[in-house]
Chains A and B, each alone.
Chain A
């Protein structure tokens, strides 16, 4: 950091120091090649004067500290004609690069990667063995949700330096990166601390992502870091592996419940049409029976009316014929026939009970 002495004289002096033990002959040779050395010296001076010229890569912008003071202009990619070393210091800032940041301090063990951004239905239900060990606060990262449940996560983020002057003035690059990294964890902690675990693992993920992004941006702006957060992605957000089977059970309970409901719907879809057709049949049968009843009644009434007409014309004849028909029909059927003479007067009959 201490301003370096000019570069040109030292080579000359160094040569003199390193050569004297080489002897007289060498000194003569040196005297002879003095002219050559002068050219060399001139060349070195020229190289020194040009040493400030810097090539700025397409993804960068450059800033110049002139005698320590940061100049206002931001230099675009291409050749930058800056002054040589003690006067100008060129700082190149990769402003057009999207900086990728893997945030895996809260990362769960690989076996537990079941819940995440993958939709619930396609979960590879590897049932993790419930470990009986707790999570060590130092080696196993996690945080607590609003309902005091433990969640582990793996995030990634992308940011871009939008204000190179602010960026180089705010912090050293290593500290700036550490601060950005910490800001994501800070925001994630804060947002998760008010979310329910079910929201965090499910529908609230979008909210979580957006909120974290906004909070981080706000925080970095407050520190005037000149950085824009482009994206904050949640690669995985899961309960700890020890509780994963319990979480899987909830998922299967949901599936079971849906299945039960669907089965009932199927049952309904089966029995309702059946009931409708049964009801239809009953109605049809009733209609038919009624029709039959009325028809028969009409027919019988008509036949009676005809017979009655005959009866009016010759009542005795009809009466006798009908009675005779009836007797003919009935008498053969009855079991015992006892015929008594009409003039024997009163008779007493003891009748058995017959069914």
Chain B
């Protein structure tokens, strides 16, 4: 074995030892990560700055890593009572992050243990809080009445210090995911919805009928008006015509009133005499006088 070979092998061995030492004696802290370094279980350092850090190799120092980014948690569904004693189901979700890794390590150990603790924390806070609000503040057509955002805000404010103090967790956000009712209550809601729809349907039908009747009645009155107008015109026209006619007659008759009277009488006579009229006449009257005296002239 040449010296060169020996030097080469020593170099390789040294590199391996160095690398091993480096691997065991250092660790990285990533951005968005916090590390609690424990020595035989006792926490010695908390590292939150990203980069390379040194430590004693394994059984002495242990690296406990925590992701400090937001974690999401959906609470379990449970019922709560509002101030006006109505059962509601208001599931909430949480966005939380670890801000005090040492406290988190001491209180919970691993991130997996966090949800159960947070769940009971949030659930009890939510139930207490909902007890101070009326159902009409959870759902309302009046935006001023609606307190959902306020409830979220107050819930966050309530659990934030508790979570921070107990678990080293910062609650970034609490959101109400839906508003539901216990199963049995939904049946009543169905009934009410159906009744409401029934009212609407009846209202639409009644309004339709009313409008239809109005249109019909108006059309009829318009038609009546048209006819009345026409009749009025007809009456006026006839009146005028009769006046004209009367004037024409009067003008003519004024020229010979006596003769007119005579012709009128004859006319009346013609009209009055019917088949069963019995006429009693004296023979001296014309034309029967002609039967009696064959005298020359007539005249009355």
Cross-interface CB contact of B77 among A86, A137, A182, cutoff 8 Å: A137
Q: Which of B52-92 contact A (CB under 8 A)?
A: 52, 63, 65, 67, 69-72, 74, 77, 89
B219 touching A334 by the CB < 8 A rule?
no
Q: Which residues of A contact B20 (CB under 8 A)?
A: 5
Interchain CA distance A282-B231 in the complex, whole Å:
7
Q: Binding site of A, secondary structure by majority: helix, strand, loop or mixed? A: helix
Interchain nearest-CB distance for B6 vs A (Å): 15
B141 touching A146 by the CB < 8 A rule?
yes
Q: Which residues of B contact A169 (CB under 8 A)?
A: 31-32, 69
B281 touching A134 by the CB < 8 A rule?
no
Interchain nearest-CB distance for B19 vs A (Å): 4
A246 touching B252 by the CB < 8 A rule?
no
Q: Which residues of B contact A298 (CB under 8 A)?
A: 245, 248
Interchain CA distance A305-B250 in the complex, whole Å:
11
Q: Which residues of B contact A175 (CB under 8 A)?
A: 69-72, 95
Q: Which residues of B contact A27 (CB under 8 A)?
A: none
Q: Which residues of B contact A168 (CB under 8 A)?
A: 32
Q: Binding site of B, secondary structure by majority: helix, strand, loop or mixed? A: helix
| B44 within 8 Å of A (CB atoms) | no
For A296, give the chain B residue with the smallest CB separation.
B245
Interchain nearest-CB distance for B263 vs A (Å): 7
Q: Which residues of A contact B235 (CB under 8 A)?
A: 286
Interchain CA distance A354-B135 in the complex, whole Å:
97
Contact bitstring B213-254, A, C-beta under 8 A = 1, else 0:
111101110111011011101110110111011101101110
Q: A68-B33, A336-B278, A337-B281 are in contact. Are A179 and B95 (CB under 8 A)?
A: yes
B193 touching A3 by the CB < 8 A rule?
no
| Interface-lining segment among A18-26, A119-127, A189-197 | A189-197
| A14 within 8 Å of B (CB atoms) | no
| A164 within 8 Å of B (CB atoms) | no
| Interface-lining segment among B101-109, B116-124, B162-170, B181-189 | B181-189
Cross-interface CB contact of B229 among A3, A197, A279, cutoff 8 Å: A279
User: Footprint of A on B, CB under 8 Å?
Assistant: 12, 15-16, 19-20, 22-23, 26-33, 50-52, 63, 65, 67, 69-72, 74, 77, 89, 93, 95, 135, 138-143, 146, 148-149, 172-173, 175-187, 189-190, 192-194, 196-198, 200-202, 204-205, 207-209, 211-216, 218-220, 222-224, 226-227, 229-231, 233-235, 237-238, 240-242, 244-246, 248-249, 251-253, 255-256, 259-260, 262-263, 266, 269-270, 273-284, 286-289, 291-292, 298-299
16 residue pairs A–B, Cβ–Cβ below 8 Å: A3-B23, A5-B19, A67-B51, A148-B192, A190-B176, A193-B148, A252-B201, A257-B207, A274-B223, A279-B229, A297-B245, A323-B286, A335-B278, A336-B279, A337-B279, A342-B289
